[in-house]
């Protein structure tokens, strides 16, 4: 193996088991739909469209913005029958359509909506899901400009030291047009939810690498989904500062 798994006494390799996963994007809401789309990719709408979220009571459902509906659409199906589970919620940009609308309101001198303000924080979605599911387990909300997916998995896998299973949800929506010249983002709303465990499910490994693998994916979501769907055995992620590989173990 090109990369030593232990460097200066520090392991560069983290193992976990994947009990279940689900992903959500416009028109793609099952593992078979994702597999089909990955084999025959087509353009997806940049808007989420209608989602039912029937698991959430209506009075709470109205608080879910498109970003939240996308993430919840991925997470809720694998949480059926799960009473309490800690969660890692990872989004690179968070709810930028919402924060932009709040900023535009400030600019035009309008008083700010308390609801909009309360939902604009990065951990708002995990809070809503916590209320909806009556699950008071700890939640962690993370953001990363680079390597969001391996960082989210590392956080979740690390929490397996404390809990026997951990939910990991990774989600983003396209940036509003105003921001697009300044940063890249997903082309369509996308969320992946995974339940990581200590001892139930398929073996996975996250590891740090010395250099970027040839198969590195610029679009992290579809790379991860190719591995989840069994179309590839590993996916590499890289940035100027570090390289990571997520693979079936």
Residues that bind other proteins (CB under 8 A): 58-59, 62, 111, 113-115, 118
Q: Which is nearer to other proteins, 9 or 111 (CB)?
A: 111
Taking the least distance from each CB to other proteins, the nearer of 67 and 225 is 67
Is the CB of 118 or the CB of 215 nearer to other proteins? 118
Tell me the closest approach of the beta carbon of residue 215 to other proteins, in angstroms. Answer: 44
User: How many Cα neighbours within 13 Å face the side chain of 98?
Assistant: 23
Count of other CB atoms within 10 angstroms of residue 132: 19
Taking the least distance from each CB to other proteins, the nearer of 40 and 62 is 62
Q: List, in order, residues 6 or more apart from 130 with CB less than 8 Å away.
A: 136, 137, 139
Q: HSE (CB half, 13 Å, CA atoms) of 242?
A: 14
Question: Per the structure block, which two tokens stand in for 8?
Answer: 């200066």
C-alpha distances out from residue 212 to 31, 144, 227, 244, Å: 28, 18, 17, 8
Q: 113 or 242: whose CB is closer to other proteins?
A: 113
Distances in Å between the alpha carbon of 136 and those of 20, 32, 128, 129? 21, 32, 11, 10
Smaller CB separation from other proteins, 128 or 193: 128
**Cα 125 from Cα 110, distance rounded (Å):** 25
Q: How far is the CB of 52 from other proteins (least distance, A)?
A: 12
Nearer to other proteins, 23 or 119 (CB): 119
> Smallest gap, in angstroms, from Cβ of residue 78 to other proteins?
26
User: Cβ of residue 68: shortest distance to other proteins, in angstroms?
Assistant: 13
Minimum separation from the CB atom of position 65 to other proteins (A): 11
Question: Smallest Cα–Cα separation from 238: which of 146, 170, 145?
Answer: 146
Give me the least distance between CB of 165 and other proteins, in Å please. Answer: 30
Provide the minimum distance between the beta carbon of 58 and other proteins in the complex, in angstroms, as a whole number. 5
Helix segments in 96-219, DSSP class H? 96-107, 114-119, 124-133, 148-159
Q: Any idea what DSSP says for residue 185?
A: -
Give the distance, in angstroms, between the CA of residue 67 and the centroid of all CA atoms in the same chain: 11
């Amino acid at each position: 193996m090109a990369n030593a798994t232990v460097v200066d006494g520090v392991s560069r390799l983290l193992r976990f088991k994947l009990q279940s996963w689900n992903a959500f994007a416009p028109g793609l809401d099952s593992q078979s739909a994702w597999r089909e789309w990955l084999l025959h990719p087509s353009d997806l709408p940049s808007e989420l469209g209608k989602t039912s979220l029937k698991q959430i009571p209506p009075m709470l459902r109205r608080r879910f913005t498109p970003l939240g509906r996308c993430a919840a659409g991925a997470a809720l199906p694998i949480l059926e029958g799960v009473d309490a589970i800690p969660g890692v919620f990872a989004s690179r940009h968070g709810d930028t359509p919402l924060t932009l609308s709040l900023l535009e309101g400030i600019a035009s001198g309008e008083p700010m909506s308390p609801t909009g303000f309360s939902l604009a924080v990065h951990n708002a979605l995990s809070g809503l899901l916590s209320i909806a599911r009556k699950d008071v387990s700890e939640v962690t909300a993370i953001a990363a400009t680079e390597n969001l997916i391996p960082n989210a998995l590392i956080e979740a896998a690390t929490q397996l030291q404390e809990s026997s299973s951990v939910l990991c949800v990774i989600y983003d929506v396209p940036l509003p047009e105003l921001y697009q010249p300044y940063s890249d983002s997903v082309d369509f709303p996308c969320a992946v939810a995974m339940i990581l465990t200590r001892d139930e499910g398929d073996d996975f490994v996250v590891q740090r690498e010395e250099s970027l693998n040839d198969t590195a994916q610029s679009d992290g979501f579809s790379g991860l989904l190719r591995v989840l769907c069994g179309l590839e055995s590993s996916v590499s992620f890289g940035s100027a500062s570090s390289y990571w590989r997520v693979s079936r173990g």
